[in-house]
Structure 1
């Protein structure tokens, strides 16, 4: 999955608070993003600084951001958009909304995977299914994107990568090319593991479906 990263600020990098290991692969991915609008969700500001990224804005209730990060944000003139703790959305969701309001047509989501809160991670994965813009969940060893029925996903696979197709709702007419175990007009019901742990065998991989939603996940065991 090699999204055509934009060179305009129509692409936004949204950073949440989970720890992100800066593998060589992730460093290359971030270097490919030029002039992105960067929104940090609360303690995602610390994650951003750890990746040598300065946010354009920090959004959230600021209940988990540490004093040192706050001082650095103040010193660098980064605006903070405070929200009440009595809110109906996570800080990550609010940060995504802020990026979309700024005109983002594509989102790269960092710091949404891993961390101690499984509930937060599951919520982050599921919220990508309702977004009106393209969104990629990214960390040091994984890259995941929602595929809808009106899209075709094609990419040049990397050595050793593992591909999984996770149905977020029943996916019908699933067809794949370039994988060791191909699918042709398959039906993947929500909860099915049929699409888990496939392998690329060609120079290009292709995934498409007639209806439903798939989370297409790529795992890079050799990313480090």
Structure 2
């Protein structure tokens, strides 16, 4: 581990950031980390960083020189993305990721892959329109009727739900078969799943409720 925190950690990626999402992440964070080129976003906004982690192939030289050497942690291997390098080296109860969506689709898909590959790391990715997280074994959210609740499986997974217009009970969700996009809440929602394979996508305005839930949900993936 490079960063240890008993409070949530804000993680800034290299994609364009939503200012509302960034402000939310910073307001909740005890420490702030940049993933490679995300350091340029932090530098432009005069955000003090606790660490910069990545392969350093996209951080401008002047930005790299603006931060003290002791917070720079270059990791040269190319078998993982900068997001994954950070995800696996931050020990915190929750990681609040911004700047990982809305730019290159392959980078966004790689971030989805990392959330599933490292299910013990609780992380939410916040963009201009959505907040996304890996479903813990069970969770509940107090959602207003009509709230969009999209469920996207990254592997085969089954589950049970209360409060969804289209329940998932009895279904096997798979990325090449049955998926669950554009579902919506009929009231408070409770979901349990059999495997760490299901991504949950809600409107970005629910980031606070999602963060509180992920911090307090007792059931965790090993």
Deviations 1:149-177 (A, max 9, x none): xx2121122686421111111112x2222
Matched, 1:55 2:49: yes
Aligned residue number for residue 183 of structure 2: 198
Q: What TM-score do the two structures reach when normalised by structure 2?
A: 0.77
Q: Report how far residue 143 of structure 1 moved.
A: 0.9
Q: Distance in 2 between matches of 1:129 and 1:221?
A: 23
For structure 2, which runs of at least 5 residues remain unmatched after alignment?
208-222
Aligned residue number for residue 17 of structure 1: 14
Q: Distance in 2 between matches of 1:70 and 1:123?
A: 25
Q: What SS is found at the alignment partner of 1:69?
A: helix
Deviations 1:4-50 (A, max 9, x none): xxxx6342222210111223xx3663255142x22211111123345
Deviations 1:33-84 (A, max 9, x none): 142x22211111123345664221111232212244334435xx77211233
Matched, 1:147 2:132: no
Q: Distance in 2 between matches of 1:104 and 1:14?
A: 11
1:96-115 to structure 2, matched below 5 A, reads 96-99=87-90, 103-115=91-103
Q: What SS is found at the alignment partner of 2:24?
A: helix
Aligned residue number for residue 123 of structure 1: 110
Aligned residue number for residue 189 of structure 1: 174
For structure 1, which runs of at least 5 residues remain unmatched after alignment?
1-7
Structure with higher helix content: 2
Q: What TM-score do the two structures reach when normalised by structure 1?
A: 0.76
**Does the CA contact (< 8 Å) of 1:106 and 1:135 recur in 2?**
yes
Give RMSD over aligned pairs: 2.9
Do the aligned partners of residues 90 and 215 (structure 1) sit closer, same or farther apart at CA in structure 2, a change above 3 Å counting? Answer: same
Q: Distance in 2 between matches of 1:218 and 1:191?
A: 22
**Does the CA contact (< 8 Å) of 1:56 and 1:78 recur in 2?**
no
